[in-house]
Amino acid sequence: MSKASRARARESADILIVNAEELVTLAGSSQKPRTGKQMNELEIVNDGALAIREGRIVAVGKTREITKTFRGEYVVSAKGKTVLPGFVDPHTHLIFAGSREDEFQMRVEGASYMEILNSGGGVLKTARETGRTRVEKLVELGLERLDAMLAHGTTTVEAKSGYGLTTEDELKILEASKRLNQLHCVNVVPTFLGAHVVPVEFRNNMDEYIDTVVEETITRVARLGLAEFCDVFCERGTFNVEQTKRVLAAGKKHGLKPKIHADQLSMLGGAEIAAGIGAVSAEHLNFSSPEGIRAMAEKGVIAVLLPAATFSLMMNRYPDARFIIDCGAPVALGTDFNANCWVQNQQLVVAMACHFMRMTPAEAVTAATINAAHAVCRADDLGSLEVGKRADVAIFNAPNHKFLGYSTGVNLVEKMLKNGRLVIDREKQDEPVFLSKTE
């Protein structure tokens, strides 16, 4: 058979990615997140290739096999590179106005998070600024942030409300999430976090605020279909165990799946609540009890760990990832991007997980991809490179996956594909001016 007729006999694909040094597929965990030792198993194909058609992955394998079967309209060489599923960021507070670098300086100089919050700063300051900001402006800010996240390898982002503190402002934030999901190629998964902090006017009557959240806000959020998950910041100084349970139960009644900010600054039993209510995930977990973690493992509650939050708060106590993994709870990683933790880069979070929590690079990669997809209930569609899944693909300028934990401070993304379309190509960028040759 001539070369031309052999080419005709091959199946057509829109894009082939070929010759990846490591094609990290994370195959085989779409039904259940990876736990324990499985978190180290990445199902890597060396000299790997992918075929993509109509936004979906149609074949995965060795380059030699894929190129024998498929003819690509475009062929992308990943020689010397590492190819991963696009990161899923399962915990962000994407939408808010303003920033808090002044408070950052106060914290550097010794003020604590709770001191700042109690003096009307922190989340309360961001809530005031967000309340004054129109939805169009929030969308504009969100688009910039999604651009930054995509540029660093993330293709799906969970976004929590919570800077509203009134029903109308919470609806405004969730409306901004909905528009962002329509406008930007990055998928935005909305979570209702009405119980984030206590508004000043309810300081002496927190239960009354919870009544509003439970009786009014959740009902309207659910009726408008503006959120998939319901989250609560369970902490000393914010919402106690009883209030947390009330909000999560009300959310569940309206079809919002429970998540919880648990044991971030103190041990309040957040992990136990998550296990008790059958939450999808419990997030932070810096101070969780061993019993709480074991209960989570038993119920399959995902531990979403957020080392960048610990780093931003300049705390010494990171979540005990080794213990959590050993107990068999599935671990995911997120940025916790918010006005207090200006981190949009999941590569940095992977590196922090290795440096500060002694997760192996493979565990951290698992946690930021397939397990993070489970944490937002999207693992049937995202989080691994498998036939049928959405072609959200990150090509890193790294010789292997370990380099992702090892390297910090430099963006390793070379190309990003979202829904099978090349949306970032840093190879195509013009050379910096200082490198241009002078005659």
Question: By the criterion CB under 5 A, which residues form the site for Zn ion?
Answer: 336
Which residue is closest to Zn ion by CB? 336
Instruction: Tell me whether strands 70-77 and 82-85 are parallel, antiparallel or unpaired.
Output: unpaired
| Cβ 400 to Zn ion shortest distance, Å | 31
In the complex with Zn ion, which residue's Cβ is closer, 158 or 336?
336
In the complex with Zn ion, which residue's Cβ is closer, 141 or 339?
339
| Cβ 280 to Zn ion shortest distance, Å | 15
Whether residue 24 contacts residue 84, with contact meaning beta carbons closer than 8 Å, is answered with: yes
Burial of 267 (0-12, 13-18, 19+ CB in 10 A): middle
Which residues lie below 8 Å from residue 150, measured CB to CB, with a gap of 6+? 184, 185, 186, 416, 418, 423, 424
Whether residue 221 contacts residue 170, with contact meaning beta carbons closer than 8 Å, is answered with: yes
Q: 68-90 burial, b for 16+ CB within 10 Å, e for fewer?
A: eebbbeeebebeebbbbbbbbbb
In the complex with Zn ion, which residue's Cβ is closer, 311 or 396?
311
In the complex with Zn ion, which residue's Cβ is closer, 22 or 158?
158
Kindly report the number of other CB atoms within 10 A of residue 379's CB atom: 22
| Cβ 229 to Zn ion shortest distance, Å | 12
Whether residue 287 contacts residue 267, with contact meaning beta carbons closer than 8 Å, is answered with: yes
| Cβ 48 to Zn ion shortest distance, Å | 35
Which residues lie below 8 Å from residue 172, measured CB to CB, with a gap of 6+? 135, 138, 164
In the complex with Zn ion, which residue's Cβ is closer, 34 or 259?
259
| Cβ 206 to Zn ion shortest distance, Å | 19
Question: How far apart are the two ends of the chain, measured CA to CA in Å?
Answer: 52
Kindly report the number of other CB atoms within 10 A of residue 150's CB atom: 23
In the complex with Zn ion, which residue's Cβ is closer, 336 or 363?
336
84: β partners: 394
CA dihedral 308, 314, 315, 321 (to 10 degrees): 20
| Cβ 175 to Zn ion shortest distance, Å | 20
In the complex with Zn ion, which residue's Cβ is closer, 81 or 259?
259
| Cβ 70 to Zn ion shortest distance, Å | 42
In the complex with Zn ion, which residue's Cβ is closer, 171 or 232?
232
| Cβ 10 to Zn ion shortest distance, Å | 48
| Cβ 386 to Zn ion shortest distance, Å | 30
Q: Alpha-carbon distance 81 to 429, whole Å?
A: 18
Q: Alpha-carbon distance 48 to 163, whole Å?
A: 44
In the complex with Zn ion, which residue's Cβ is closer, 72 or 334?
334
| Cβ 208 to Zn ion shortest distance, Å | 24
In the complex with Zn ion, which residue's Cβ is closer, 103 or 336?
336
218, 156, 217, 151: which is closest to 181 by C-alpha? 156
| Cβ 112 to Zn ion shortest distance, Å | 17
In the complex with Zn ion, which residue's Cβ is closer, 282 or 297?
282
In SS3 terms, 230-247 reads as EEEEECCCCECHHHHHHH
**Which 8-state DSSP code applies to residue 268?**
S
Q: Alpha-carbon distance 223 to 203, whole Å?
A: 29
